[in-house]
Amino acid sequence: MRTVLVHGAWHDGSCWAPVVSELSARGHDVVAVDLPGDRPGAGTDAYVDAVLAAAGPDGRVVLVAHSLGGLTVPVAAQRLGPGRVAALVLVAALVPLPGSSWQERTRAEPGIMAPGFGRGQQRHDDGTTSWPADAAAENLYAGVAGESSDEAVRGAVAALRPQDWTVTKEVTPLVAWPGVRTVQVVCSADRVVDPAWGRSGGVVPGAELVELEGGHFPMLTRPAELAGLIHDVVRGAG
């Protein structure tokens, strides 16, 4: 069974490297996707195509999404079908609402994002945003150095890319939540996605709620713990 790791905004698959290392050491077939998030105009279909390419043409998969990747993973599961998708794991993830765009959802539910998140981003003429290094360290990665190290933050900041937002403006192609096991991971000290929203119980009806200590980036700050959680889901699905 393959585990497919899907990153969030401004990142690429390399952000999952510590978790990939942990899962590989446990014998997992694991791949981290590079979404086309830095490509102006790339929408959900392009993101899903990247996930499906990583999933391969056959075999069962567990799809793991972090943050903005949560808008893509259930749509990929819908296209793959329950015969191929064993489970979904949503890590501090944004979650699409059928019939709505993400922007519409955030206007209707203003408490989704943590207060103050996003200060310091630079907006560009092509519709992308990016982070100056100081702003990324202080806002996007707030608290990460305390959970890990300054070196980890510097490495993460250096790997950031611009992010296009077409995927948040489109009405999601998701028709209904996939009928597969879904594990929703809330990070208790998240400074990006408000943990109170994740705990509310209505984000993904029927999902299994798991809470991790720490902030929005457990793949950087507690990769062994996150890998252990994913390992248990994959083992349970096997």
Tell me the domain boundaries of the chain.
2-112+165-237
Query: pLDDT, tens digit, for every residue of 20-71?
Result: 999 999 999 999 999 999 999 999 999 999 999 999 999 999 999 999 999 9
Residues 207-225 pLDDT 10s: 999 999 999 999 999 999 9
Q: What is the spatial distance between Cα 67 and Cα 31, in angstroms, rounded to a whole number?
A: 17
pLDDT at 205: 82
- Digit-coded pLDDT (tens) for 83-129: 999 999 999 999 999 999 999 999 999 889 999 899 999 999 999 99
Q: Return the pLDDT at 212.
A: 96
Which pLDDT belongs to residue 4? 98
Domain at 2-112+165-237: CATH code = 3.40.50.1820
Confidence of residue 188 (pLDDT cuts 50, 70, 90): very high
Judge whether 101 and 168 are in contact, CB under 8 Å.
yes
Average pLDDT, the chain: 96
Q: pTM of the predicted model, to two decimals? A: 0.97
What pLDDT is recorded for position 142?
A: 93
What whole-number distance in Å separates Cα of residue 51 and Cα of residue 62?
11
Q: How far apart are CA 120 and CA 127, in angstroms?
A: 16
